[in-house]
């Protein structure tokens, strides 16, 4: 109980202090962060007057915050290793109203974009928040429809997402990994082109670095990449004998060779959103965010419960003021 109270006091004190001082921080070329939010809980119906700000980057025509809200916790697709009860716990906590409240809290703290997949029922929640509650959260969505030669089901889902107001679309990493393994890089190109035809930014997701390598080699015209990145300095990280296996075969990690990813992405000109940076909760945010931004990620995608958002934004802002990058910002 004391730990919980101390965390809550820390967040409230930090936010109130920043609200009073309206501290301006220089982050990257020409970007200013003003940590000036009110330190009170918020809902979609009750927003604070003052708002925190995060530095932003541009993906195609879309401007998005450098810290993005991940959708896995909202859709209950938690990666909790062998703790099977966590899925149900998350499902009971993140109800429809709590998802709406979480997006409102994220917006109030400067996070302006959600990245999520087409889990059952999620689009109705997103539309309710935007069109009924007045939310401004942008949507970067990956369709889960099958990617096949004729692209009929996938194309139809992309069309529907575009009609519903989706701001950017990317090929799901699960699909992209599989297509590269099957030698079907041409279907990745088709998926990218389908979304671009609707006039919105179109990207490619990946757990396997080979996906990005093949896209670059074949000059696939993606607007951005979403690629896993996390170090292996945590208890459940892969053992040396497991590194020869595919990521999907070993629970507990999502980036097989982080240094290889860092080295390759230095030569990639497209914006890069790093995800699974905390290895699904195994790495603390300060460590994870620093590692991702320091090693070239332009944006960090983080799954967060509503009560984690305020502190994570403060951490991200602090990290970005001090980060030394070998790869220039690409967004």
Please report, for the chain, the start and end positions of each structural domain, with discontinuous segments joined by +: 2-322
For 11, other C-beta atoms within 10 Å of its C-beta total: 18
pLDDT at 252: 65
User: Considering the domain 2-322 in this protein, what is its CATH number?
Assistant: 3.20.20.100
Supply the DSSP symbol for 251: T
Per-residue pLDDT of the chain (331 residues; tens, 9 = 90+): 444 444 444 444 444 333 332 333 333 333 333 333 333 444 434 343 345 689 999 999 999 999 999 998 888 777 777 788 888 888 899 899 999 999 999 999 999 999 999 988 999 999 999 999 999 999 999 999 999 999 999 999 999 999 999 999 999 999 999 999 999 999 999 999 999 999 999 999 999 999 999 999 999 999 999 999 999 999 888 888 887 887 777 666 789 899 999 999 999 999 999 999 999 889 999 999 999 999 999 999 999 999 999 999 999 999 999 999 989 999 9
Which SS3 state, helix, strand or coil, does residue 155 take? helix
Q: Do 68 and 300 meet the contact criterion of CB atoms below 8 Å apart?
A: yes
pLDDT at 52: 65
Burial class (CB in 10 A: 0-12, 13-18, 19+), 318: middle
Strands (E), 156-263: 168-171, 202-206, 224-228
Nearest to 35 by CA among 284, 318, 307, 303: 318
Beta strands 272-275 and 32-35, pairing class: unpaired
- Residues 25 and 320: their CA atoms lie apart, in Å, by 10
User: In sequence order, what DSSP letters do the residues of 32-52 get, joined into one string?
Assistant: EEEE---SS--BTTB--SS--
pTM: 0.84
154 contact partners, CB below 8 Å, separation of at least 6? 143, 145, 146, 147, 148, 191, 194
């Amino acid at each position: 109980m004391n730990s919980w109270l101390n965390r809550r006091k820390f967040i409230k004190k930090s936010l109130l202090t920043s609200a009073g001082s309206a501290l301006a921080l220089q982050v990257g070329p020409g970007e200013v962060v003003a940590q000036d939010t009110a330190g009170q809980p918020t809902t979609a119906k009750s927003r604070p007057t003052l708002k925190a700000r995060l530095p932003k980057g541009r993906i195609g025509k879309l401007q998005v915050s450098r810290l993005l809200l991940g959708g896995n916790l909202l859709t209950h697709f938690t990666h909790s290793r062998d703790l099977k009860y966590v899925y149900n716990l998350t499902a009971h906590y993140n109800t429809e109203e709590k998802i709406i409240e979480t997006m409102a809290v994220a917006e109030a703290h400067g996070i302006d974009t959600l990245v999520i997949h087409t889990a059952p029922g999620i689009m109705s929640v997103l539309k309710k928040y935007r069109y009924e509650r007045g939310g401004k959260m942008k949507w970067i969505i990956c369709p889960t429809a099958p990617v096949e030669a004729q692209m009929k089901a996938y194309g139809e889902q992309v069309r529907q997402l575009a009609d519903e107001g989706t701001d950017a679309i990317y090929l799901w990493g699960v699909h992209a990994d599989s297509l590269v393994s099957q030698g079907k890089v041409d279907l990745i190109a088709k998926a990218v082109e389908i979304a671009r035809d609707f006039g919105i930014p179109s990207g490619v997701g990946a757990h396997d670095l080979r996906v990005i390598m093949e896209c670059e080699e074949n000059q696939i015209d993606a607007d951005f990449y979403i690629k896993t990145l996390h170090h292996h300095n945590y208890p459940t990280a892969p053992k040396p004998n497991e590194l020869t296996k595919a990521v999907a075969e070993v629970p507990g990690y999502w980036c097989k060779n982080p240094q290889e990813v860092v080295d390759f992405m230095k030569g990639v000109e497209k914006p890069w959103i790093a995800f699974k940076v905390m290895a699904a909760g195994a790495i603390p945010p300060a460590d994870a965010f620093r590692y991702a931004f320091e090693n070239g990620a332009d944006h960090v995608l983080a799954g967060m419960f509503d009560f984690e958002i305020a502190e994570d934004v403060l951490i991200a802002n602090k990290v970005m003021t001090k980060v030394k990058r070998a790869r220039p910002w690409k967004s």
